[in-house]
Structure 1
């Protein structure tokens, strides 16, 4: 594979969408072809599964069902979009990937990492991102940003504060265990500070 696979992770309101476009522009200005995608989603089938996962009418969805739907969408995503794009030398940037499953379903839903790891290995084998940006900020600030954004909340955004505290801690724990793959960013700082850190990481990745 000649391209690079970057993933963006973080809690609600962490600024992933804004910085995803910043990364896309930065790479394109340097001659890279870029594919933007998201999870759950990224393919027609994945987007249909996303609709189920975010729909508030399915409030009774069990954590195990949620987990398996996430990986069903991911299996399609990897094989039909991500890997083909990488093989063509493109850089793929995904708004969330498997780290989100560990944080949301593993930690916050209480399924545990040990139940997720075998499914990850089965679906992905040894396929992992080249770099994962973790946008970290206090949960209260993230929720404030979501409220200011307006609009209707989805099934996940309606969860309580303790849920998102567990999500945040799970991301930080995973990053601490594999610092070579993760770039943790203080998303509470001004945007230009966040983006200067992103550029430094992109420059390192471009040199590899």
Structure 2
């Protein structure tokens, strides 16, 4: 089984890479999805977040108010560290369970899609680390266009992550996400072909 860590700066193209790998046959474990699941209504994770950041981060329906929480953590590194200390261990355990299930189902290439892979010290936990990279200015443009953020908010989102040099320094493979989607998918296809040569059974699930 080939374990891959996939990461990249926000709006660099990581989601495109993950989607392509899934279509090619990889088992993709989305840690963003797991991060939402571990703070679902009624969960111990949500209870811990509310205790740390106040009941104002929980809606009247008992759900996590992501906007309220984001207002506290995106511009405050210490608050972000407190949040990570609560959520990341829960996500790690959930990811371990998903990986075991994928392997039991016959998957031979398992990709962990982790936005904060470098920030959480997981760079050495995989057989191969793939980083999707794109210029910061382009990523800000994408965030403003696709998510309705102001430029200031977009730059704050970038600042909340590891800098590009830190990600690239630990990468085994760097994919260029600055071009068209089709260009990025071509790079993924080429990488998949390399994996298939190394792990012949990995070309299909």
Q: Which residue of 1 aligns with 2:22?
A: 24
2:181 aligned residue: 191
Instruction: Evaluate the alpha carbon distance shift between residue 160 and residue 64 of structure 1 in structure 2; reply closer, same or farther with a 3 A threshold.
Output: closer
- Three-state SS of the structure 2 residue aligned to 1:42 is helix
Cα gap change, 1:19/1:47 in structure 2, threshold over 3 Å: closer, same or farther?
A: farther
Q: Once structures 1 and 2 are overlaid, which stretch shifts more, 59-68 or 39-48?
A: 39-48
Question: Is the aligned partner of 1:78 residue 2:95?
Answer: yes
Distance 1:63 1:148, change over 3 A: closer
TM-score, normalised with respect to structure 1? 0.64
Q: How many residues align?
A: 170
Q: Which runs of 5+ in 2 are unaligned?
A: 50-56, 58-63, 74-78, 200-205
Secondary structure of the 2:27 match is strand
Q: How far off is 1:54 after superposition?
A: 8.2
Q: Measure the CA separation in 2 of the matches of 1:187 and 1:16.
A: 8
Segments of structure 1 that go 5 or more residues without pairing to the other structure are 28-33, 104-115, 176-181
Q: Equivalences for 1:170-185 in 2 at 5 Å?
A: 170-175=166-171, 182-185=172-175
Q: 1:148 to 1:36 in 2, by over 3 A?
A: same
Q: Secondary structure at the match of 1:188?
A: coil
Give the Cα–Cα distance (whole angstroms) in 2 for the partners of residues 37 and 160 of structure 1: 23
Q: Name the counterpart of 1:102.
A: 118
Deviation at 1:141, TM superposition (A): 0.3
Q: Tell me if structure 2 keeps the 8 A contact 1:136–1:188.
A: yes
Shift of 1:199: 1.7
CA distance in 2, matches of 1:40, 1:69: 14
User: What is the deviation of 1:95?
Assistant: 2.4
> Greater RCO between the two (CA within 8 Å, min separation 6)?
2
- Say whether residues 1:131 and 2:148 are aligned partners: no
Seen in structure 2, the aligned counterparts of structure 1 residues 43 and 140 have a Cα distance that, compared at 3 Å, is closer
CA offset at residue 160 of structure 1?
A: 5.9
Report how far residue 146 of structure 1 moved: 1.4
Provide the C-alpha distance between the structure 1 equivalents of 2:38 and 2:8, rounded to a whole number of angstroms.
20
Look up the SS of the partner of 1:184 in the other structure.
Answer: strand
Question: 4+ residue runs of structure 1 moved beyond 4 angstroms?
Answer: 49-54
Match in the other structure for 1:92: 110
> What's the counterpart of residue 36 of structure 1?
28
CA distance in 2, matches of 1:12, 1:172: 14
Cα RMSD of the aligned pairs, angstroms, is: 3.5
- Counterpart CA distance in 2 for 1:54 and 1:158 is 22
